[in-house]
Amino acid sequence: MGSVASYVRQLCGKEKKEEEERHLRANDRPFNLSYHYANNAIKTSKYNIFTFLPLNLFEQFRRLANAYFLFLFILQLVPQISSLSWFTTAVPLILVLSITGVKDANDDLNRHKSDNQVNNRRVDVLIDGELRNEKWMNVQVGDIIKLENNQFVTADLLLLSSSEPLNLVYVETAELDGETNLKVKQALTVTGEMGDSIDALAGFTGEVRCEPPNNRLDKFKGTLTLNGQTYALDNDKVLLRGCTLRNTEWCFGLVIFGGPDTKLMQNSGKTTFKRTSIDHLMNVLVLCIFGFLAAMCSILAIGNAIWEVREGSVFTAFLPREPGTDAALSSFLSFWSYVIVLNTVVPISLYVSVEIIRLGNSFYIDWDRKMYYPKNDTPAQARTTTLNEELGQIKYIFSDKTGTLTQNIMTFNKCSINGKSYGELFDFSGQRVEITEKTERVDFTWNHLADPKFIFHDHSLVELVRQGNPEAQAFFRLLALCHTVMPEEKKEGELIYQAQSPDEGALVTAARNFGFVFRSRTPETITVVEMGKQVIYELLAVLDFNNVRKRMSVIVCSPEGKLTLYCKGADTIIYERLHPTCSKLMEVTTGHLNEYAGDGLRTLVLAYKDLDEVYMADWRKRHHDASTAMEGREERLDELYEEIEKDLLLLGATAVEDKLQDGVPQTIEQLAKADIKIWVLTGDKQETAENIGYSCNMLREEMKEIFIVAANTAEGVKEELQNARRKMCPEASEEPSVIKARAGLFWLKTTETVLDEKVDGDYGLVINGHSLAFALEKNLQLELLRTACMCQTVICCRVTPLQKAQVVQLVKKYKQAVTLAIGDGANDVSMIKAAHIGVGISGQEGMQAVLSSDYSFAQFRYLQRLLLVHGRWSYLRMCKFLRYFFYKNFTFTFVHFWYAFFCGFSAQTVYDEWFITLYNLVYTALPVLGMSLFDQDVNDRWSFQYPQLYSPGQQNLYFSKKAFVRCMVHSCYSSLVLFFVPWAAMRDTVRDDGKDIADYQSFALLAQTCLLFVVNTQLCLDTHYWTAVNQFFVWGSLAAYFAVTFTMFSNGMFLIFTSAFPFIGTARNSLNQPNVWLTIFLTSLLCILPVVAFRFILIQLRPTINDKVRYKVRKEGLPAPAPRRPPTRRVSTRRSGYAFSHSQGYGDLVTSRRFLLKRPVRSRPVLFTQTDSPLAQNQPQHYRTITEEPEESQSP
C-alpha cells in the first residue's frame, strides 16, 4: 500500500526528494527553477473555496459523536425500526455541523487574510539589470533584492553589500528571539566592493552551496564560489527573514531560502491540534456510554423477545404482525429502535454547548480590561477557543527570560566610588527611603549633552562630580572610555549609542549624564567631552572581553601624554589583580556589592593602572608580534593581557538593573502559592539567568541549597544529579518508581508516570545547555526529571529552542500534568507548540511567538489573572456544565428505560415527539449555558487572595470518571422517582368530573413536566452566582415550555397537521387538575431533598477549600487589601553577573584601520521611531501588588 501511495504522490508531483544540499546561482532564474525550490509565498490556511465543504465535513465526521448521529439519522429513515421522526436527529445534526463549519471557515478566512497581508508586501528585486518593485510572494531563490532602513527582511539572504563602513548592517532580531539590542552582520569584502552599483550587482554570478533548509537560528554553513575562488559563509553573513534592518540606509542580499524554507518558518514547526484533558476524558466517556447504551438496548431487546413469546400472541387480534415477523426478528428490530429512542444519553447538543461555552469564556479574556496594556495598546487575546478549561489545571509553567520576565532594558541604578555607595536616599533618621515615581529626580539640565531619558535620584553624586572629586571623575572617565560602543550623532548633541549588550549602553549613558560624554571614536582615538571640555584620547589597545576573561580593558594616552589602563569586569576576576594597597577599600566595596546583589542588580568592578612609557613601548611591540603570529596567537595574547592587567587600583563598582517587567516577583509568588511550578528555560548565560532568578524571588537566600549542574560529560552530569537528589531525599530509592497504565480511546495508549517525592525544605536547580544535552538522553532523562521535580525552582540556561521543547515533552510524558509555556521570540515557538498551552508575550516588536501561541498578552504579570481567574472559572464552569448535562440527559433517558417494562418493550416513547426534539435544543439549553457562562464560586479579588483555590483543578477533582459515575447514580435515582411517582399517582386517579385521567398522553405530559421542573431546580441548586441573564433563561425556558406545549396540543395545530400533533387537548385537560400539580410538587421534592441533605452533611464534615472561602466571603464581603510592604533589604554573598556578550566583543572591529570608510553622507531616519516604546523611554518600573488594587490602578 505504501509503495502505491508513494507512486501516486510522485505522479501528482507531491513526493519531494529530501534536500541534501542547496545549490543556487545569482541572477539565473532558469538554473534555480530547475531545482524546484520553494518560492517566497507562505501558506498557513487549511482550505480553499472548493475544498472547504468536503474537507471540513470529513474532519467533523471524524469526531465520534457526529459519525454516531449520522448513523442514527440513517437508522431513522428505515420505517420498520424508527419510532421517532427523522427530524428529531436531522435538525440538531445540521445545526451542529453548520455552527462548527461557520467557525472553521471564519478561522481559515483570518489565516488567508494574514497570509495575503505578508505575501503582498513589496520589495525591490533586481531583474534583467533593473530594480523592480515586486510582491514578496514573487521573489525566487537566487534573486538579488534591495532592503532599506526599517524594512523587514524578505527572505533568508546572503548579505552582499551595504551602505555602512566595512559592509556592516545592523539588524533587530526581536521577532526571532525577543531581544531588542542590535546585532551586527557583515558581508564578504569581495561582494561588498560592488556597493550599490546596479551594473556590478546585475553582473554578479556567484554560486552558493549551503546546508538544506533547517530550523537552527544560530548556525549556517556554506560556500560562495566567485571567479574560481571559494569563500566560506557563516551565520554572520546571513540575514534571516523576520529581522528588521535598523540604522542602515540600504543593503543588497541574495535570496538563499524562501517562504516555507526560511529559518523563521522552519522554526514554526508543525501545528499540532491541541485538545484538553476534558476532551480526552469525554471521548472515553462517550465510548463507555455507547457500551452502556448497547447494554440497555440488549436488555430491552431480550425483554421484547420474552414478551412477544409470552404475551404478544394475545395482542395479535388488535395489532396483527406483518407477514414473516416472528419474536426473533421483532427483538432484533426492537434493539435498533431502542438505539434511536435512547440516543439522548449521547446528546449531540453537548458538543455545540461546549463550543459556545469555550467561545464565551474566550471573549471574557479578550474583553478583560485588567489584562489590557495601554502603553502599547495591546489587549489580551485568546487565539484558540478550545483550551480555556485547561488554563485551570496548569501544574508546570516553562518561561523564557529575556523579554518575558525582563524588559531587556538596563538602567544604571547604583554605584560605589572610593568606598561610598550612591544611588539610595535616606531620611533624617538614617532610614532608607523607598524610591517611587514621585521621588525628586536629579536635574541634568546643566549638561546640554545629557540624555533626557536618564533617571537618577541621588543628588549627592552629581554634586561630588561637579565639585571636581578626582576619584568620582576617574570613575566616570573609565565608563566613558572602556567599552566598544559605536556612537552616532544625527544633529549636534543628539547622540545615539549602538551597544553590543544593553549593559554597555547603560554604563556609557550614565557617564554621559554625569558629565563625561563619549562623543565619537576613530580606530586610533576616543573623543570625550569632560565636564563641557572636549578631550581626545589616543587609543593604544583594546583588551577585549570574552566568556573566559570576564573583563575588558583599554589602554589610552591623554593629551598630556599620561598612559593609563582602564579595566572593568567581574569582581572575582578584578579582585585577583588588585594592588595589595587596595585591601581596605576592597572590603568596603565588597559590602556594597553584597547589598547590590541582594537587590538583584548586575554588578561590575572598575579599576585602573598608570603605565610607564618605556614598558608600554616594549609591550606594544610584543603585542604586535603576538597578534600577527600564525601559531598560538590566542595563548600569546592571553599571556600579554595577564601580564599588563595586574597591580590595578580599585575605583569602585557599578550596579545595573536588568529591568523586570512590572509585577513579575508578585506574579511568581502568587503562582507558587497555587502550587504551580515554574521552570525558566533561557538562552542566556548562567550568571544572567541566576541573577534574574534572585530578582524574581524564584531563587532565595533562605533556600537550603541551590544545585549547579555544569558537567561536560554524561557521567559527570549523572553524578551531579544523583548527588543533588541524595542530598534532598536521602531515603529515596536509587531507581525511579514508574507507574505504567492504559489510557485514551479504547485504552490503547500506554502512560508512564513518575511519582512526586517528598522533600524537606526548598531547593533550586540551575543546569546549563551542555549538561542538559546529556541529561536529556534516554538513560539520564528520568534522573533529571526526579531531581528537577524535587526542587522548588529550576533554571536551564544556554538552551537551544529544540532543548526547550524536549524539556517540556519530558515533563508531559512522565508527569501526566498540564503544562504551559510562555515566551516572546521565535526561539520559544517550539516550546510553545510542545506544551499543552502556549502563551505569547506581545507588544514588543517580536510577534512570532504570538502567532504560534494559544493566548497572548503584553506583560508576564497578566499570567496570574489568566490562570487564577479566567482559567479557574473556565474549568469550574465546564465541569459544572458536564456534570449537569449528563445528569439531565441520563435522567431523561432512564425514564424511557423504566417505561419499556410497561409498554411491552415496543420502543414507544414516554414523551411527546416534539418534547424530545426540543428538550436539549430549547427547554434546557439556555439555563445551562447561562450557568456555564456566568457562574463563579468567588469573585476575582478573592481568587487572588486565596491562590490555593486553584489546586482542585490540578487534581482533576471537579470532573472525572468517578464524578461521571456519581452523575449516573444520581440520574438513576431521579428517573425512578420521575417515572414511578407520577405512574403510581395517576394510575387509578379520576378527574374532578369523574372521568379517567390515566391515558397515555396525560401521563406523557405529566412525566415531561415533572422532569423539566426537577432539572431546572437542580440547576438552581448548582448555580452560585445569579445574574439577570440566568434568571431570564430559567424562567424563560419554563415559560417557553408551557407556551409551546399549549400551542402544540391545540385544536388548530391538530387540524392543520393531524398526524404530527396527536396530543390534542391534553395540556388544558391535565394541567387544570390540582392532583397533577401536587404530583409535580411531590416529585420535585423527592428528587431535590436528598441532594440538599447530602450537600449539607458534606460541607459540615468534609468542607473543601471552596466551601471555606465562600463562607468567609459571606462573612466579610470583600477581602482586605494586603498591607504595602517596603522592599526588604537583602545582603547576598552571591554575585550577580554582568551581561558580557555570549560571543567575542567588537574590540577588533573598533580598532580596525578600515573602520570608518568615507561614504557619501545621507540623512537617515532615527533608529527608534516609536517614541513611547519602553526601550526609547527607558523609564523606571515600580513593582506593586496587582491583586488587591482597585480596577483603575491596574493599568500602569
**Pair 679, 788: CB distance under 8 Å:** yes
Helices H / strands E in the chain, number of each = 43, 37
Find, among 581, 573, 571, the residue nearest to 653 by Cα.
Answer: 571
Number of Cβ within 10 Å of residue 1156's Cβ equals 13
Phi, psi of 616 (to 5 degrees): -65, -40
DSSP-assigned letter for residue 637: H
Phi, psi of 1171 (to 5 degrees): -70, -20
**How far, rounded to the nearest angstrom, does the alpha carbon of residue 193 sit from its chain's CA centroid?**
45
**Pair 398, 788: CB distance under 8 Å:** no
State the cell numbers at 868: 487564577
**Pair 116, 108: CB distance under 8 Å:** no
Give CA–CA dist 198/651, Å, rounded.
Answer: 54
Q: Read off the amino acid at residue 629.
A: A
The one catalytic residue among 143, 261, 368, 400: 400
Find, among 175, 168, 158, 174, the residue nearest to 221 by Cα.
Answer: 158
Find, among 590, 597, 563, 560, the residue nearest to 650 by Cα.
Answer: 590
State the cell numbers at 748: 490503547
Q: Read off the amino acid at residue 1027.
A: T
Phi, psi of 446 (to 5 degrees): -65, -20
Using CA of residue 670, residue 673, residue 676, residue 679, what is the dihedral sign?
A: positive
Give CA–CA dist 154/126, Å, rounded.
Answer: 14
* Alpha-helical regions (H) of 756-828: 769-775, 781-790, 801-815
For 538, the 3-state DSSP assignment is strand
Does the annotation count 760 as an active-site position?
no
Ramachandran quadrant class, 269 (left: phi over 0; alpha: psi -120 to 50; beta: rest): left
**Pair 890, 971: CB distance under 8 Å:** yes
Q: What angle do CA 1006, 1011, 1015 make, to 5 degrees?
A: 155
DSSP state string for 1144-1186: --SHHHHT-TTTT----------S---TTSHHHH---------
Give CA–CA dist 249/237, Å, rounded.
Answer: 18
607 beta partners: 567, 650
What is the SS3 string spanning 345-377?
Answer: HCCCHHHHHHHHHHHHHHHHHHHCHHHCECCCC
Per-residue CA distances from 46 to 22, 528, 881, 1050 (Å) = 28, 59, 32, 50
Helical pair 87-119 and 52-61, crossing angle rounded to 10 deg: 120
Give CA–CA dist 43/258, Å, rounded.
Answer: 12
Per-residue CA distances from 456 to 415, 443, 468 (Å) = 11, 9, 19
Q: Read off the amino acid at residue 729.
A: C
State the cell numbers at 300: 430491552
Strands 425-426 and 432-433: antiparallel
**Pair 674, 947: CB distance under 8 Å:** yes
Strands 533-543 and 551-557: antiparallel
Give CA–CA dist 437/927, Å, rounded.
Answer: 49
Residues 6 or more apart whose CB falls under 8 angstroms from that of 323 comprise none
Residues annotated as catalytic (active site), given as ranges: 400
